[in-house]
Structure 1
Amino acid sequence: MTHDPDHRVQGVDHAAFPTFDPAATVRFYRDTLHFPVVHSICAAGWGPQDHPDFIHFFFDIGNDDRIAFFYYFGHEPVGDQGAPGDAWARLPEGTPEYFVNSRHLAIHVDSEDDLLEYRRRLDQSAWPCEMQVKHETIESIYTHDPNGYMIEFTRALRPVTPQEDLDAELTIDALCEVASGPEPSLEKLLTRKAELIVERAPDWETAHLEQYSEVTS
């Protein structure tokens, strides 16, 4: 059996980083640069017992590429936050593995066959696939490169819907409020998100009726 030696990857799916200040991150990428929030994942009880709850959120940076961030509830800042770049230039001994791996590059492939081809290539190398996971809208395989950086290959399981874009917007607005207050937690975020749904429902209903009226007139 022969294997296609050509590239099957389709560029960057997303580059991911941790954030200690999600509200400022949203102000910078969404409000200042106008990169829309396109997806978010709220994860409770994920991973090993000592893994904190977190939110993973994504900004559209054009050409189907995204930049993503992890916010870990209860994780304290690393390094000197007053020195630009210093917080990410070095990580103290004992930094949790999940925090190190949150900084990774995700490379896009189009199909399951392409994903499995890259798994085959990795498994026959010195850097075998360490994990294959389906989570929400994507399936991914992971390994670490020779420098210790986590590399992800990912394919879409289905398109992201407009409803999910709206859900991401609500999640991020709730996160910005909760993260700026005392003792932020995923439970507080979800509670505030539910309140925002109730607060904004009348506006959505009005917009829906106006849209329906335009279509039928």
Structure 2
Amino acid sequence: MPFPGQDLLAHTVRGVDHAAFPTFDPRATITFYRDVLGFPVVHATCALGWGPGDHPDFIHFFFDIGGGDRLAFFYYFGVEPYRDTGIPDLLHRARHLAIHVDTEEDLLEYRRRLDASDWPCELQVRHETVESIYVTDPNGYLMEIARPLRAITAEDDIDANLSVDALMEVTAEPDPSLEKFFARKAKLISERYAGEPESVTFA
């Protein structure tokens, strides 16, 4: 029985898409979760800034923890823990729970309900493989609701593993940056596919 005035909504969420946290030591994080615990790296996305104009460049990488759930981390290039004034806001924005929905209609219905409430949607954005809306709940916690834009493929897994390998290498050196990361990843791709046919035909 709904509370008075409660507008019932079909239960369209499908559990946790991912939980996300910042890391200031990506090499240790990757070693711990991938190499020690054996959680596969299944996705990675990079951005030259995102959100506000002063947002730092970052890489966002995901581990498969079973049951369709993922554990994700942000590494911000050039940001030292507890030294930069932007750290508290970055920590707030990085730590969030992402809830999964299946369709665009589901996502837009949640946006409609949020925008009609005291907690309107703060951002709607398409990433590489998902479209998401973001809202801060009454406790100050950031929540994401995400729907898939396409299925994750074996090629995504390969790309993610090349990404974290490149990240491991550039963060072992002084002054890591997203530009150095991209250069190192390109070199790893070249090394991986050395001797492969130069032309690739797509179906």
Q: In the TM superposition, what are the counterparts of 1:85-164 in structure 2 within 5 Å?
A: 95-164=87-156
User: For residues 75 and 186 of structure 1, what CA distance do their matches in structure 2 show?
Assistant: 12
Pairing 1:31–2:35 present: yes
Tell me the SS of whatever aligns to 1:181.
coil
| Runs (4+) off by over 4 Å | none
Letter in 1 for 2:165: D
User: For residues 48 and 152 of structure 1, what CA distance do their matches in structure 2 show?
Assistant: 17
Q: In the TM superposition, what are the counterparts of 1:43-54 in structure 2 within 5 Å?
A: 43-54=47-58
Q: CA RMSD in A?
A: 2.2
**Aligned match of 2:3:** none
Tell me the SS of whatever aligns to 2:73.
strand
Pairing 1:168–2:168 present: no
Letter in 1 for 2:33: Y
Asked if structure 1 preserves the Cα contact closer than 8 Å seen for 2:49 and 2:58, the reply is no
Pairing 1:9–2:13 present: yes
What percent identity do the matched residue pairs reach?
65
Deviation at 1:4, TM superposition (A): 4.7
User: For residues 128 and 158 of structure 1, what CA distance do their matches in structure 2 show?
Assistant: 27
User: For residues 27 and 173 of structure 1, what CA distance do their matches in structure 2 show?
Assistant: 10
Deviation at 1:94, TM superposition (A): 5.7
Question: Which range is displaced more, 169-178 or 70-79?
Answer: 70-79
Change in Cα spacing, 1:180 to 1:151, as seen in structure 2 (3 Å) is same
Relative to its length, the structure with more helix (as a share) is 1
User: For residues 184 and 118 of structure 1, what CA distance do their matches in structure 2 show?
Assistant: 39
Tell me the SS of whatever aligns to 1:172.
helix
Change in Cα spacing, 1:127 to 1:166, as seen in structure 2 (3 Å) is same
Letter in 2 for 1:162: A
User: For residues 106 and 55 of structure 2, what CA distance do their matches in structure 1 show?
Assistant: 31
The size of the alignment, in residue pairs, is 192
TM-score, scaled to structure 2: 0.87
Deviation at 1:63, TM superposition (A): 1.1
Contiguous gaps of at least 5 residues in structure 1: 80-91, 206-217
Asked if structure 1 preserves the Cα contact closer than 8 Å seen for 2:81 and 2:87, the reply is no
Change in Cα spacing, 1:196 to 1:136, as seen in structure 2 (3 Å) is same
Deviation at 1:99, TM superposition (A): 3.4
Tell me the SS of whatever aligns to 2:19.
strand
1:10-55 deviations in Å (ceiling 9; x for gaps)? 0000000000000100011111111111110110133333111100
User: For residues 19 and 167 of structure 2, what CA distance do their matches in structure 1 show?
Assistant: 21
User: For residues 179 and 95 of structure 1, what CA distance do their matches in structure 2 show?
Assistant: 19
Q: Give the alignment partner of residue 71 of structure 2, picking from 38, 59, 67.
A: 67
TM-score, scaled to structure 1: 0.82
